[in-house]
């Protein structure tokens, strides 16, 4: 049975499903799920991410986290954690850039939170020299040491539910069947006490997205960082408050319908940084900084110029366009945001506007 047939028979038996349930099946179904079956990254894949665009991204993130570690007294036992490390490129670049930071490599155990067997294999290859350990979820992160965490394009892959405002109530957007095909519909109007704060900044007909999974991860990170020390850098596309339908599917770098051929496209939604910030209490969350400002503040232009002296021809052109892609407001510079988490009173990692 294809994933489409599995989803259709489940809807036929149990009724329409939430967008979150659909996203979870499409991304993580053990046999047919998008992340269960493939490495989706890169030019030949479905999408490309900042660390795959340029080594500078992981280098600067690594240095920012190493600085946070030094600012917290260079603890001898810490974890350097990545959520959803993809091919391991960001972590490899971060480790190379921090190799000369005194004591850092000896202090940190590289710990990866990864759901996909295919990507775990890629990470094992890229990071073999650093003997990483893998865990299935943030709940399984070590409890006895500070956690220095990077999550790049991780939160956008976590399932969202969608709610359409109808007066003082909400109708959930669901996926059902019509003439034997998957189709979007709306559930009956219901009160949602958890969305009462959104009655203040939305109007009738507005759609908001809620990721319980993302809030759950932020809650664990916030609790752990407040109690154990450490810092987190969350980098993703999104905004300070969810508004509008951002549920999207990408296949071979093209937008396609999220209902088309389930399990064969990357499904994502924009990240609601305000919701993550609230969920991460009691940790302190920084204001949201754009990726462009974050990378410029960390010195990406000086690093780009230093690397450029060794390049010529096509390699130089690619390098210049990578710098632009990561930082320019018309490319990733403004859409992508960075938020930091630290224990109350601790210094934020560099690069964040305070």
Residues that bind ligand SAH (CB under 6 A): 35, 41, 49, 51-52, 84-86, 90, 113-116, 119, 152-154, 157
For residues 84 and 333, which CB has a smaller minimum distance to ligand SAH in the complex? Answer: 84
Minimal distance, residue 151 CB to ligand SAH, in Å: 7
Minimal distance, residue 343 CB to ligand SAH, in Å: 24
For residues 46 and 172, which CB has a smaller minimum distance to ligand SAH in the complex? Answer: 46
CB atoms within 10 A of CB 310: 9
For residues 157 and 276, which CB has a smaller minimum distance to ligand SAH in the complex? Answer: 157
Minimal distance, residue 264 CB to ligand SAH, in Å: 15
Whether omega before 282 lies within 30 degrees of 0, making that bond cis, reads yes
Distance, CA of 161 to CA of 39 (rounded, Å): 26
CB-based closest residue to ligand SAH? 84
Minimal distance, residue 142 CB to ligand SAH, in Å: 17
Find, among 117, 63, 67, 109, the residue nearest to 90 by Cα.
Answer: 63
Find, among 131, 126, 75, 67, the residue nearest to 101 by Cα.
Answer: 67
CB 168 within 8 Å of CB 211: no
Cα dihedral 112→231→246→84 (10° resolution): -10
For residues 90 and 307, which CB has a smaller minimum distance to ligand SAH in the complex? Answer: 90
DSSP character for 41?
A: B
Q: For tokens 């110029």, name the residue.
A: 305
Minimal distance, residue 92 CB to ligand SAH, in Å: 11
For residues 35 and 247, which CB has a smaller minimum distance to ligand SAH in the complex? Answer: 35
Minimal distance, residue 91 CB to ligand SAH, in Å: 9
Cα dihedral 284→348→75→155 (10° resolution): 70
Minimal distance, residue 199 CB to ligand SAH, in Å: 30
Distance, CA of 263 to CA of 114 (rounded, Å): 18
Sequence length of the chain is 354
Distance, CA of 308 to CA of 320 (rounded, Å): 8
For residues 117 and 329, which CB has a smaller minimum distance to ligand SAH in the complex? Answer: 117
Minimal distance, residue 19 CB to ligand SAH, in Å: 15
For residues 90 and 108, which CB has a smaller minimum distance to ligand SAH in the complex? Answer: 90
Minimal distance, residue 61 CB to ligand SAH, in Å: 10
For residues 90 and 164, which CB has a smaller minimum distance to ligand SAH in the complex? Answer: 90
Would strands 108-113 and 133-135 be described as parallel, antiparallel, or unpaired?
parallel
Find, among 93, 29, 52, 9, the residue nearest to 326 by Cα.
Answer: 52
CB 40 within 8 Å of CB 86: no
For residues 84 and 230, which CB has a smaller minimum distance to ligand SAH in the complex? Answer: 84
**Token pair in block for residue 190:** 């219901």
CB 323 within 8 Å of CB 54: yes
Distance, CA of 149 to CA of 62 (rounded, Å): 10
């Amino acid at each position: 049975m294809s994933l489409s047939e599995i989803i259709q028979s489940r809807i036929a038996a149990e009724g329409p499903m939430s967008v979150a349930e659909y996203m979870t099946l499409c991304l993580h179904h053990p046999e047919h799920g998008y992340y269960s079956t493939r490495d989706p990254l890169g030019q030949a894949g479905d999408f490309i991410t900042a660390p795959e665009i340029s080594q500078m991204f992981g280098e600067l993130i690594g240095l920012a986290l190493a600085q946070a570690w030094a600012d917290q007294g260079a603890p001898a036992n810490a974890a350097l954690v990545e959520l959803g490390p993809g091919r391991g490129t960001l972590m490899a670049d971060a480790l190379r850039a921090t190799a000369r930071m005194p004591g850092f490599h000896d202090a940190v155990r590289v710990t990866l939170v990864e759901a996909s067997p295919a990507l775990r294999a890629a990470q094992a290859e890229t990071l073999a020299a650093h003997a990483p350990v893998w865990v299935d979820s943030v709940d399984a992160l070590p409890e006895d040491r500070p956690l220095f965490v990077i999550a790049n394009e991780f939160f956008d892959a976590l399932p969202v539910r969608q709610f359409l405002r109808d007066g003082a109530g909400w109708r959930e957007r669901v996926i059902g069947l019509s003439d034997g095909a998957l189709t979007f519909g709306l559930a009956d109007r219901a009160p949602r006490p958890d969305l009462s704060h959104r009655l203040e900044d939305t109007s009738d007909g507005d759609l908001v997205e809620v990721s319980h999974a993302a809030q759950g991860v932020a809650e664990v990170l916030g609790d752990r960082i407040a109690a154990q020390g450490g810092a987190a850098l969350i980098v993703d596309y999104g905004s300070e408050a969810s508004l509008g339908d951002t549920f999207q599917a990408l296949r071979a770098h093209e937008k396609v319908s999220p209902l088309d051929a389930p399990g064969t496209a990357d499904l994502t939604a924009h990240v609601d940084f305000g919701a993550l910030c609230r969920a991460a209490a009691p940790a302190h969350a920084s204001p949201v900084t754009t990726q462009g400002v974050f990378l410029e503040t960390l010195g990406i232009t000086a690093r780009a110029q230093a690397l450029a002296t060794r390049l010529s021809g096509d390699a130089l052109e690619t390098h210049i366009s990578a710098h632009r892609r990561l930082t320019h407001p018309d490319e990733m510079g403004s859409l992508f945001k960075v938020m930091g988490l630290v224990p109350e009173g601790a210094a934020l990692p560099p690069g964040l506007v305070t």
